[in-house]
Amino acid sequence: MIDLKLLRKDPQGVQARLRTRGDFDLGSILALDQQQRHLEEARSQLQARSNQIGKAIGDKIKAGIAPQSPEIETLRAEGTQIKTTLSELEPQERELKAQLETLILTLPNLPSDSTPVGKNEAENVEVRRWGEEYIPQRADLKPHWDIGEALGILDFKRSVNVAQSRFVTLVGAGAALERALIQFMLNRHIQAGYVEVMPPILINSDSLQATGQLPKFAEESFKCDADDLWLAPTAEVPVTNLYRDQVLSAEELPIHHCAYTPCFRREAGSYGRDTRGLIRLHQFNKVELVKLVHPDTSAQAHEALVQDAATILEALKLPYRVLELCTGDLGFGAAKCYDLEVWLPSAGCYREISSCSNFGDFQARRGNIRFKEAGQKGTQLVHTLNGSGLAIGRTMAAVLENYQQPNGQVRVPEVLLPYLGREIL
């Protein structure tokens, strides 16, 4: 959530930065804020006058003036009128505050100063590529869904009977490969210093609001209406919210977590895109990396997060590139973001497999996640970061396509041999 104090202090500056992301008008927010502040000032003055009246009545009675005297009755009448006015102002102020908060929650994060300005994904900036020597050069390469179905390890047709389209059942070596990828990724991240957690995957509305999925992305999520619980769209949500409404000590930072969870998304805005295969499913597995850090180390922590995700691709010898997203392509809560894109031979291009975002204090303000420096009176907001480390289904798709053999089999990446105990799928 954008800092309301910053909106008041520099509305033109905030407006200019938001316009690099799209068409956002702060006029209605600033007007509501002014109305609310006027009401707050009026209420404060009335409460102060009410307190003065109460003290004045008490002082006069102590001085010997009769409680029923006209002087005291006049003061009491004024006090009664103030209470009546306050009873009218207070709900108006609460309503204005609620309206103001609702509008502020719809604003995306401000881009960082180092984020390149651009209108859309076409203006993202390529940072680097890795592993081009591993790109298969054969002309007879097949897409991963054909490979998986031919091997009998991916079953899309029966999954439609069980659920609907955009679900998959992993069979035999397919299920084993999925588990192997999950375990491999977790082991690597734990070795890098992340603490593994296994959080709930049913989460409440407050959690989704804190990390920025609500209210904007309600249509993208699956909800259990009877319980006000949602299926987690990503482990970012439950893991970050483990610290909601808490004050940490500065010594507890940084906090680094990795988590495997199933994830669920409607993909409501992607009609007709990636309707086949593992790229855009309603249910998929993911290993997520989450960091809570001191603001002073935020930028360095972000660069390290990107490399932690990239290390998995390098270990699997999967070609990838890193893109720095421009302002027009940033995710809702991100101030700065790098995408990792893996090479998919069937598409002849790189496809997103991880999005590594630095949210600054945007999520922490929404979720009230603070820390306190030793010897200092006040608290500060932490900075939160996260990234896929990696999306398992997309990693499997990349393995199947990049490691396919002329005879239709798939060679197992060397680093997965201890987990699978087999060299060929």
Q: Is there a catalytic annotation at residue 69?
A: no
Is 265 marked within a binding site? yes
Kindly name the residue from 346, 355, 357, 401 that is annotated as catalytic. 355
221 annotated as a binding-site residue: no
d(CA 146, CA 43): 69
280 catalytic? Reply is: yes
How far apart are the C-alpha atoms of 181 and 421, rounded to whole Å?
13
Any catalytic annotation for residue 411? no
Known binding residue 411? Answer is no
**CA-based nearest residue to 204, from 391, 367, 382:** 367
> Is 353 assigned to a binding site?
yes
Any alpha helices (H) in 10-139, and if so which ranges? 11-19, 27-62, 70-105
- The answer to the question of whether 414 is labelled as a binding residue is no
Residue type, 208: L
Residue 273 annotated in ligand binding: no
Residue 159 annotated as part of some ligand binding site: no
Q: Is 355 annotated as belonging to a binding site?
A: yes
315 DSSP 8-state letter: H
DSSP string for residues in 125-154? EEEEEE-GGGS---S----HHHHHHHHT-E
Residue 179 assigned ligand-binding role = no
In DSSP terms, which residues pair with 338 in a beta bridge?
Answer: 324, 356
**Would you call 265 a catalytic residue per the annotation?**
yes
The DSSP H or E segment spanning 246 is: strand 246-249
The DSSP secondary structure of 202-221, one letter per residue, reads: EEEHHHHHHHT-TTTTGGGS
Is residue 133 marked as binding?
Answer: no
Please say whether the beta carbons of 352 and 377 come within 8 A: no
Cα 308 to chain centroid, rounded: 18
Tally of CB atoms within 10 A around 385: 30
Is 43 labelled a binding residue?
A: no
Q: State yes or no: is 352 an active-site residue.
A: yes
Kindly give the pairing relationship between strand 223-224 and strand 320-324: unpaired
Rounded CA-CA distance 255/382 in Å is: 10
Catalytic residue among 21, 166, 366, 394: 394
Q: Is 161 annotated as belonging to a binding site? A: no
What's the CA gap between 59 and 53, in Å, rounded?
10
Strands 169-170 and 246-249: unpaired
User: Which member of 276, 280, 314, 351 is catalytic?
Assistant: 280
Choice among 78, 123, 220, 352 that is catalytic: 352
Task: Answer yes or no: is 368 a known binding residue.
Answer: no
d(CA 114, CA 311): 24
Length of the chain: 425
Given the residues 21, 265, 321, 370, the one annotated as active site: 265
Identify the DSSP state of 165.
S
Would you list which residues are annotated within the binding site? Answer: 234-236, 265-267, 288, 352-355, 386, 388
Would you list which residues are annotated within the binding site for ATP? Answer: 265-267, 352-355
Would you list which residues are annotated within the binding site for L-serine? Answer: 234-236, 265, 288, 386, 388
Q: Which residues are designated catalytic?
A: 265, 280, 352, 355, 394
